[in-house]
Amino acid sequence: MLACTTTHPAGFRSLPLPIVQLSLEAVLHCGQSFRWTSFPLTPDLDDEHPPTLAHEYRFCLRDRVVCLRQSHHVLFYRSVFPEQDLSAAETTLREAETLTWIKDYFQLDVDLPKLYDDWSERDTVFRSLRSRFSGIRVLRQDPWENLVSFICSSNNNIGRITKMIHALCKKYSSPLLSLEPPCPALASAPTMTPYHPFPPPSALAAPEVASQLRSLGFGYRADFIQRTAKMLVDEHGTTVVMKPMEAPERWLLSLRDMNTTQAREELLKFVGVGRKVADCILLMSLDKCEVIPVDTHVHQIAVKHYHFTRNGLKGKTIMTPKIYDEISKRLSDIWGEYAGWAHSILFTADLKAFSAYGLHEDHESPSISVVPSVVSESEGSTKEPGPSSKRKPFSATESGAYRQDEGTDLLERVKKRRRGVSVLA
């Protein structure tokens, strides 16, 4: 059994990465991805030093399960494969692939503290929250999984979406492997946990899938998922064009090469995909970092903290395409090129699950020096795609700077909510 809370856990490789660059606790629980599982790590009672590793996070890819742990300065990772007899050389090669996937998935080529500095210059609302909500970045997810997940998000919450996505994987994808929890001594821990990859479009395209998903509690979303999968399969077939990726999945990846308007138009053709869902997919899997998904929740933030008004009215407003565009433009003018990333941080700060997040932590950021690529292992050649060459590196600018001293009350609102005061209409 691997050690739970040692400084460098056995079997894990290390990537120097300050928590201000990536906070797994925040990023994996804020409603971007719904398939990560989290396991608490129990401290050794005989250890003179308190542990810095509190959780292990696991995610099932097509051919491996990726396990992550994090200290304040280091990200630890390891892969588990269904094959039991890998040579040392093959293991090294595959771990290099895992490292490439990690850097791509978490977009580690983007210097997050530099973005935080820029947003703090532009926006006093953001400045009031940056120390508590550091390390929150946008994931670069698989577009097919992201599409299905956000079809499920309609009139839903993070906990229920998570249950639905796990149920879908269990129903339509065979388990890749099973693992014991990192600390099986926990009384509540199961002996073994099976891990299922996300099913391909062909697995969800058959007519009977809709009724099966309804029986799993998907409601009206069941038809949307089945019909969207069928549209993709009918248009692009089921041929495996890049092992083990089906043709529809490969086509969805190609949307990264389109401009934002073209990619959005393609997404809006799918059943169950409206403007907000399409924009979530554009931001979280198609490299459109400027896109701000707008719903009533974001509208309320715009009204309360950025003085957004229309025709002199505040508060509850029917979300029309025109209002959607006006809010998006207003916030984009404030936050700049990576506006979608800034939006995700304020959205996270407003979630009830994060009402106490960071209140008891030391917010002093460690001294860091980040170069374009954060690497500590030999990478070699890998089969996994790297970061998109179309995504531009961030550079801070002064254009669009926003000064609104009254806007700092978002932090006060979070504190009030923690005391049980309702402050969001």
Active site residues: 276
Helices (H) and strands (E) in the chain, counts: 15, 9
Q: Are 326 and 316 in contact (CB under 8 A)?
A: no
Pairing of strands 65-70, 55-60: antiparallel
Nearest C-alpha neighbor of 258 from the set 267, 271, 247, 249:
267
Q: Which helix (H) or strand (E) holds 50?
A: none
| Residue 387: count of CB within 10 angstroms of its CB | 18
Residue type, position 392, single letter: K
Where does residue 269 rank: exposed (0-12), middle (13-18), buried (19+ CB within 10 A)? Answer: exposed
Signed CA dihedral, 203, 204, 205, 211: sign only: positive
Q: Which helix (H) or strand (E) holds 347?
A: helix 339-349
| Residue 311: count of CB within 10 angstroms of its CB | 5
E-state strands within 61-117: 65-70, 74-80
Report how far residue 41's alpha carbon sits from residue 192's, in angstroms, rounded to the nearest whole number: 16
Q: Angle at CA 109, nearest 5°, toward 262 and 333?
A: 50
State whether residue 23 is helix, strand or coil.
coil
Q: Are 335 and 119 in contact (CB under 8 A)?
A: yes
| Residue 386: count of CB within 10 angstroms of its CB | 13
Give the contacts of 45 (CB within 8 A, at least 6 positions apart).
none
Q: Are 345 and 292 in contact (CB under 8 A)?
A: no
Report how far residue 272's alpha carbon sits from residue 148's, in angstroms, rounded to the nearest whole number: 10
Q: Are 307 and 260 in contact (CB under 8 A)?
A: no
* Local structure of residue 206 (DSSP, 8 states): S
Cross-strand partners of 56: 39
